[in-house]
Amino acid sequence: MNMQLPTRVKLVDVGPRDGLQNEKGTVPAAVKIELVHRLQAAGLKEIEVTSFVSPKWVPQMADNAEVMAGVQRQPDVRYSVLTPNLKGFEAAAACRPDEVVVFGAASEAFSQRNINCSIAESIERFAPVVEAARAQGIAVRGAISTAVGCPYEGEVSPERVGYVARLMKQIGVQHVGVCDTIGVGTPRKVQAAMEAALAHYELDEVSGHFHDTYGQALANTLASLEMGVWQYDTSVAGLGGCPYAKGATGNVATEDVVYLLHGMGIETGVDLDRLIDAGQYISDFLGRKPNSRAATAILNKRAG
Ligand code: HMG
Ligand code: MG
């Protein structure tokens, strides 16, 4: 194992997409756009803006094109969107994303529930998306959900992650994210899932995406850093928590990861104070406190 910690980490803030997709109440496009603006003002260089999925399945993302059109882009920021199939890709492509994300799963049951098809079928759907994206110079990332545990099947073995990573590699997906969808992973299990992905992808082509349901996401981030993994998806204010849906809480808060990394002397390019302001903006809109310990601590300090 590579025990050399990275000196710089790339964070993809997935708050506007992963975070807001679970919100029951409609979040207006203008608020989503303002959130993206505040994230880029805080120094985030990668933002997952929205998804081009069925509005019947995820009504909150129905304003995808409007949000993409409203963002004032910065030349050094990359904007990504989720595209489950060719229909989604075609709608997304018109909005000129820098990267599209195909999202599969390591467990069959989650694949069926999330995207209504088997793992094998999902790969067949992704293949033309990858081909079209790459022909247009759009980067393609793959998300491997339920990489350590599945809400329907329980524990998921690293072999399942390796299997999906291999299939994604075969169809030309350039990067894979190892995703702990329900936050059940602990460091050794997450490292085993990472290893399985790293059997098919280079270190520079693998990222971590950890939901914090069981409070393990920071530990899992550190465990992955110890393997040299230097790219992570995180969500401002820990967005994604749904008070009504058991077992579904948000991604690890970007604020907490930035605090961890800066404390270890690892660069992110993010201004923590401005990030906290961005988190407070969206939390105020949603009528709750940021779901980030670091943000809470710093906001309390400011108030005092
Ligand atoms: P389906 O019903 O199997 O698709 O859904 P279909 O091809 O049979 O089409 C059915 C209808 O949907 C048709 O419309 C299509 O036009 C329409 P109708 O003729 O009935 O009016 N349709 C679409 N509309 C808009 N955009 C599209 C699209 N595709 C078909 N792209 C589908 C398959 C994948 C579309 C559906 O299951 C879906 O939208 N699922 C949403 C899944 C989702 O967004 N999940 C959350 C994101 S993933 C995630 O959060 C995990 C991640 O964070 C990592 C982790 O934490 O694990 C990434
Ligand atoms: Mg997620």
CATH number at residue 283: 3.20.20.70
Q: Considering the domain boundaries, does residue 85 fall inside one?
A: yes
Nearest ligand (C-alpha, residue 51)? 1
Q: Is 42 in the pocket of ligand 1 (CB under 6 A)?
A: no
At residue 227, the pLDDT reads: 97
Q: How many CA atoms lie within 13 A of 15 on its CB side?
A: 36
Looking from the CA of 238 toward its CB, the CA atoms found within 13 Å total 25
Residues 6+ positions from 282 with CB-CB distance below 8 Å:
15, 19, 31, 35, 236, 237, 239
Q: pLDDT 10s per residue in the chain (304 long)?
A: 546 899 999 999 999 999 999 898 999 999 999 999 999 999 999 999 999 999 999 999 999 999 999 999 999 999 999 999 999 999 999 999 999 999 999 999 999 999 999 999 999 999 999 999 999 999 999 999 999 999 999 999 999 999 999 999 999 999 999 999 999 999 999 999 999 999 999 999 999 999 999 999 999 999 999 999 999 999 999 998 544 335 668 999 999 999 999 999 999 999 999 999 999 999 999 999 999 999 999 999 999 8
Note the pLDDT of residue 240. Answer: 83
Q: Flag whether 4 is in a domain.
A: no
Spell out the alpha helix ranges (H) of the chain. 20-21, 29-41, 64-70, 86-93, 108-115, 119-135, 158-170, 187-198, 217-225, 254-263, 272-286, 293-303
In a domain, 132, yes or no: yes
**How many structural domains is the chain composed of?**
1
Catalytic: 242? yes
In a domain, 65, yes or no: yes
Phi, psi of 296 (to 5 degrees): -60, -45
Cα of 84 from ligand 1 centre, angstroms: 6
Percent of the chain whose predicted confidence (pLDDT) is above 70: 96
Question: pLDDT tens digits, residue range 238-269?
Answer: 998 544 335 668 999 999 999 999 999 999 99
The pTM assigned to this predicted structure is 0.97
Q: Do the domain assignments include residue 192?
A: yes
| 162-198: burial string, b at 16+ Cβ within 10 Å, e else | bbbbebbbebebbbbbbbbbbbbbeeebbbbbbebbb
Ligand sitting nearest the alpha carbon of 21: 1
- Confirm or reject: Cβ of 143 under 6 Å from ligand 1: yes
Domain enclosing residue 288, as ranges? 10-303
Does residue 182 form part of some domain?
yes
pLDDT score recorded for residue 241: 57
Pairing state of beta strands 231-234 and 10-13? parallel
Our measurement of the distance from residue 142's CA atom to the centroid of its chain's CA atoms, rounded to an integer in Å, reads 11
Residue nearest atom 28 of ligand 1, based on CA coordinates: 54
3-state secondary structure of 19: helix
- For the record, the structure tokens of 177 come out as 């994210």
223 within a domain of the structure (yes/no) = yes
Q: What is the pLDDT of residues 135-172, one digit of tens each?
A: 999 999 999 999 999 999 999 999 999 999 999 999 99
Q: Which residue has the tokens 């579904």?
A: 248
The reply to whether ligand 1 has any atom less than 6 angstroms from the CB of 51 is yes
8 Cα to the center of ligand 1, angstroms: 35
Residue 214 CB-half CA count within 13 A: 12
CB 48 within 8 A of CB 68: no
**Is there a domain that residue 46 lies in?**
yes
**Alpha carbon distance 256, 260 (integer Å):** 6
